[in-house]
Structure 1
Amino acid sequence: MNVSRGLPADLPTDLKTIVAPYYFVPGPSKWPLLAGVSMLATMFGASGWVNGAAWGPALNLCGIAAMLLTLYFWFGDAIGESEAGQYSQRIDYSFRWSMSWFIFSEVMFFAAFFGALFYARQISMPWLSDLDHKFLWPDYNGHWGNTGPAGVVEPFQTMGPFPIPTINTALLLTSGVTLTIAHHALRAGHRAKTAIWLFATILLGATFMGFQAYEYMHAYSELNLKLTSGIYGSTFFLLTGFHGFHVTVGAIMLSVMLYRVLRGHFTADHHFGFEGAAWYWHFVDVVWLGLYVVIYWL
């Protein structure tokens, strides 16, 4: 049942959000089911693709497209409900807790990858290079970036911090500043200033991704550094690649927020959609600082 029917239809959106006394519960929705089916198709397609099945690529791409369409309409419904004044302050609290737990899950996600890197560098490699294993691999040394105990990995060069990783660090740190300026402008009611600084943040994120794509091409063509380059190559591309994926998702989120800012959806007091995207972007910034130190310097 839609409990918002008791509110006057001509009540301003801001006032609806403030006075709504209920906790809005949406009716039955088809989007969760469609999202599940889309993810299932995506994973089946991916498994078929890597195993050489002819139907794998098509099913994988169809699943991804279906998931993107589902998210578009699902979030569109949520935005429509918000703009209709159906969300009270209680819903705002729920969104904040939900976003907090989501970011916490992302922290654990990257913690697992950092943990794998730590285990490989600080436990496995010293163990394989100790005196007991010299009889099996006499030429093996435990330095990071080696070609493995048996020498089965093609020789490669490791990736240093200059110049692209350092430039990308400056880009992400600057994007955090521009996003904070945009947030303060929104809280002050300066919509045009918010849009300008938010666009600058998105542009910095896109530039970051461009430099990372160039870094990958440089790694493959000039350093012979690939995903198959032992534990160094796998952890390098796993950590930086998943972070790049998160930057892409964050840029898409901020682009949606920019569209909503231009449409006048947010007010100085009610703009958690913007804040949630900003939280995510700052999280991406912090993760990159860890990657920059651990991957490129240590």
Structure 2
Amino acid sequence: MSAVLEKYFVPEPSRFPIYGSAALLLIGAGGAMWLNRVGSGPWLVAIGFATLIYMLFGWFGQVVRESETGKYSQQVDKSFRWSMGWFIFSEVMFFAAFFGVLFYVRVLSVPELADGASAMLWDGFEKKWPSAGPYVEEAFTPMGAWGIPAINTLILLSSGATLTWAHWGLLKGARGQLIKGLVLTVLLGVIFLGLQVYEYVHAYDALNLRLTSGIYGSTFFMLTGFHGMHVTIGATMLAVILARSIKGHFTAERHFAFEAVAWYWHFVDVVWLFLFIVVYWL
């Protein structure tokens, strides 16, 4: 008895990768020109982002249409899962590099600069954290863990629970539960971002904590800022999944797009837990 071979869908050549490459080139070149006060820099950045948004809508819209018309087999689904898994792994390495920077500064660099022969280079520099760093004398107050950071931790953990609840609704065919869970998750993500913006304003106005506040300011805004960018991306993807769910997309058997975004959101939650402990608490 011969085995039945499953067809593997191969899409037609697409113009969207070229649009994406052009968009990134415009954003990078425009950003460099903007920083160097070249007048056309902001315009190039704006055109680049407009091109990028057009590319994302066009390319992902095409993928959605192909999925909804049944062109994707189980083999294609498996390749999507592997691709998303490797993408999240690359994101893990992205944040691991930044956490590595914080570890190097706190555990190795600051003690070395304050002890032994190096101490002669920086008169009065003390081995303590938070530290602005040598020759940075502007006073600032470090961001505490209890307050908005703790509230945001509770919010993100709750969003992970509401997303899981939405997934349960999808698996048992309860579309109302699916939609309600996604609405709550997106809403919690937006609240998180709003509180983070308030936290940044408070840091600049009340704590005098800025990007220029030495190594502590740099690492604080680098880690929390990049995480906030990932929350923004995740909330946007969840909003798209919500719109598709309202339109009747996804079944209990076939819903990889939902799972991919859920994986990403749970990854963002886990990163925030590490960030809360290492950046805010310790």
Give the structure-1-normalised TM-score: 0.92
Is the Cα contact below 8 Å between 1:157 and 1:223 reproduced in 2?
yes
The answer to whether residue 24 in structure 2 is matched with residue 39 in structure 1 is yes
Q: Which residue of 2 aligns with 1:67?
A: 52
1:127-164 Cα shifts (integer Å, max 9, x gaps): 100021232223110211223222x3421110001200
2:30 and 2:41 in contact (8 A); partners too: yes
Structure 2 contact 186–239 (Cα < 8 Å) conserved: yes
Q: Report the counterpart of residue 22 of structure 1 in structure 2.
A: 7
Q: How does 1:1-298 map to 2 (within 5 A)?
A: 21-150=6-135, 152-298=136-282
Q: State the Cα distance separating 1:265 from its structure 2 match.
A: 1.0
Aligned to 1:10: none
- Conserved? CA contact 1:42–1:60, under 8 Å: yes
3-state SS, counterpart of residue 134 of structure 1: helix
* Other-structure match for 1:9: none
SS of the equivalent of 1:160 reads coil
**Number of aligned positions between the proteins:** 279
What's the offset of the Cα at 1:181? 0.4
Cα distance in 1 for residues equivalent to 2:5 and 2:191: 42
Mean CA deviation greater in 278-287 or 136-145: 136-145
Q: Is the 8 A contact 1:20 1:88 kept in 2?
A: no
For residues 5 and 183 of structure 2, what CA distance do their matches in structure 1 show? 33
Distance 1:20 1:235, change over 3 A: farther
What is the RMSD computed on CA atoms of the aligned residues? 1.1
Call closer, same or farther: CA 1:168–1:20 in 2, change over 3 Å.
farther
Q: Unaligned regions of 5+ residues in structure 2, if any?
A: none
Matches of 2:63 and 2:35, distance apart in 1: 36
1:129–1:140: 8 Å Cα contact kept in structure 2?
Answer: yes
CA distances 1:222-246 after superposition (whole Å, capped 9, x unpaired): 0000011111001100000000000
In 2, distance between residues paired with 1:252 and 1:167?
22
Identity of aligned residues (%): 56
Segments ≥4 residues shifted beyond 6 Å: none
Q: Does structure 2 conserve the Cα–Cα contact (< 8 Å) formed by 1:189 and 1:267?
A: yes
Q: Which amino acid aligns with 1:174?
A: S
Aligned-partner residue type, residue 82 of structure 2: W
Give yes or no for contact 2:132–2:217 (8 Å, CA) kept in 1: no
Structure 1 unaligned runs (5+)? 1-18
- Counterpart of 1:163, as a letter, is G
Deviates more, 1:203-212 or 1:57-66: 57-66
Where 2:120 maps in the other structure, the secondary structure is coil
For the residue of structure 1 that corresponds to 2:139, the secondary structure is coil
Specify the code of the residue in structure 1 equivalent to 2:36: N
